[in-house]
Structure 1
């Protein structure tokens, strides 16, 4: 269960600058969640790494494409449960300078897929790293900004409210999208309907969210399409066909 909304207003009240010279205004929040970084168990310093992520609509206000829309993710280290009320100087001792595995993995997977010109994933526009100020949840802890394309269409969160014929059409488009990801050697591990966007006009699916993903380098580890994927992602022929598999709860997502 998410304890609170962590991303402070001071991070979003002004346009966010990136190293490419563009600036982006932060608009409506889409969602916010927390992650337990599973890689944190291997840390030599013993720090439990908890990360919050908020996703926003964004608009370019400085740069060559004024008015261009995007999606901005702000990811930041937050205090582990029980430490959020410590004094700022005490919390500072928990600060981690290097972004967590899940922050790095999303950037790496998007870069990898973009380089291979995968059409089923958003374009990564820019990213940047900063550190939290004394008034923020974990002074000195990292803040990561990830700016990406706003893909056409809408989330499939309401997939089961669509007519049966339309659902079947979407399934075909989803198979093409996931098969393309597998062809480009990336395996997403967060199979939820809200991580699929469907562009009805072009009958095309996009797969979002790569913090829980794997880039495959060994032939034996490569994935291929299996019809079971429809059920795994909540797209079974009938609602009762859907199965619980690798849900976000298993990754500490709240």
Structure 2
């Protein structure tokens, strides 16, 4: 018999999230589903600052940001998930915080910047009382991701324009020593007004090489902006890969 359904975010998350130094943000609409991962769950919201602080926008009181919330969840049967509440944040959150802060300090365009962060214990209504809830507020990047905008249905000239803009941003990220490896069209956004790309999601990355050594076509293949070549006959014959459509 299944146990009780796990609580949903609205049941244990505050609508107004208070940070240090008197800063607070209001959670608005979610932009992802509530998704369980090994050891933790996550959800992203649009948010708006409701009370001042050193990072408050000077241009508009209505500026929107992105709030990423990550929550420790109970261990699953026969898993390696932590069995005790942790103070957090998780390793992937720490990695992203470091990247976002680096982007902010360098003033790099085409990537989100860190605005605010905190990590606090869950209350009794959370999925794993005493475990962590981490909050990361970052700048909201304009545009729609290339997967949602059906990149491969665009005209060749439009695809090439996005590829060139993507490479400009990726090379600038590499120059800061960061090579993201969660490579997917959903993490590349296109701003139709500025005609620029941005890249998001920096929970996973390796130390980057000098971008002068970047193999541009291979990188675009990894990110899904260029199709990979079909498998060679000798690779199939030697059993290195399966024949397309084969068992």
- The two structures have a TM-score, normalised by structure 2, of 0.78
Runs of 4+, deviation exceeding 6 Å: none
The alpha-carbon distance between structure 1 residues 68 and 29, as it changes in their structure 2 partners (threshold 3 A), is: same
Q: Name which of 43, 61, 64 aligns with 1:54.
A: 43
Q: Name which of 56, 65, 76 aligns with 1:70.
A: 65
The alpha-carbon distance between structure 1 residues 139 and 77, as it changes in their structure 2 partners (threshold 3 A), is: same
**Which whole-Å CA distance do the structure 1 matches of 2:103 and 2:230 have between them?**
28
Confirm whether residue 147 of structure 1 aligns to residue 148 of structure 2: no
User: RMSD between aligned alpha carbons?
Assistant: 2.7
Q: What's 1:26 paired with?
A: 27
**Which whole-Å CA distance do the structure 2 matches of 1:26 and 1:80 have between them?**
27
Q: Name which of 66, 76, 80 aligns with 1:81.
A: 76
The alpha-carbon distance between structure 1 residues 82 and 135, as it changes in their structure 2 partners (threshold 3 A), is: farther
Deviation at 1:13, TM superposition (A): 4.5
- What secondary structure, in the 3-state scheme, does the structure 1 residue paired with 2:22 have? coil
Confirm whether residue 165 of structure 1 aligns to residue 157 of structure 2: yes
Q: What's 1:17 paired with?
A: 18
How many positions carry a matched residue from both structures?
215
Give yes or no for contact 2:12–2:126 (8 Å, CA) kept in 1.
Answer: no
Give yes or no for contact 1:34–1:51 (8 Å, CA) kept in 2.
Answer: yes
**Which whole-Å CA distance do the structure 1 matches of 2:222 and 2:153 have between them?**
19
**Which whole-Å CA distance do the structure 2 matches of 1:150 and 1:129 have between them?**
21
Q: What's 1:195 paired with?
A: 187
Summarize the alignment of residues 169-248 of structure 1 with structure 2, pairs less than 5 Å apart: 169-215=161-207, 222=210, 224-226=213-215, 227-236=217-226, 239=227, 241=229
- What secondary structure, in the 3-state scheme, does the structure 2 residue paired with 1:96 have? coil
Give yes or no for contact 2:87–2:120 (8 Å, CA) kept in 1.
Answer: no
Deviation at 1:177, TM superposition (A): 0.7
The alpha-carbon distance between structure 1 residues 11 and 180, as it changes in their structure 2 partners (threshold 3 A), is: farther
Give yes or no for contact 1:231–1:241 (8 Å, CA) kept in 2.
Answer: no
Structure 2 residue runs of 5 or longer lacking an equivalent are 232-247
**Which whole-Å CA distance do the structure 2 matches of 1:146 and 1:196 have between them?**
20
Segment drifting more, 122-131 vs 8-17: 8-17
Give yes or no for contact 2:75–2:83 (8 Å, CA) kept in 1.
Answer: no
- What secondary structure, in the 3-state scheme, does the structure 1 residue paired with 2:142 have? coil
- What secondary structure, in the 3-state scheme, does the structure 1 residue paired with 2:31 have? strand
Confirm whether residue 35 of structure 1 aligns to residue 37 of structure 2: yes
Structure with the greater alpha carbon radius of gyration: 2
Segment drifting more, 199-208 vs 181-190: 199-208
**Which whole-Å CA distance do the structure 2 matches of 1:103 and 1:234 have between them?**
25
Higher relative contact order (CA 8 A, sep 6+): 1
The alpha-carbon distance between structure 1 residues 7 and 174, as it changes in their structure 2 partners (threshold 3 A), is: farther
Q: Name which of 131, 134, 137 aligns with 2:121.
A: 131
Structure 1 residue runs of 5 or longer lacking an equivalent are 37-49, 84-91, 244-254
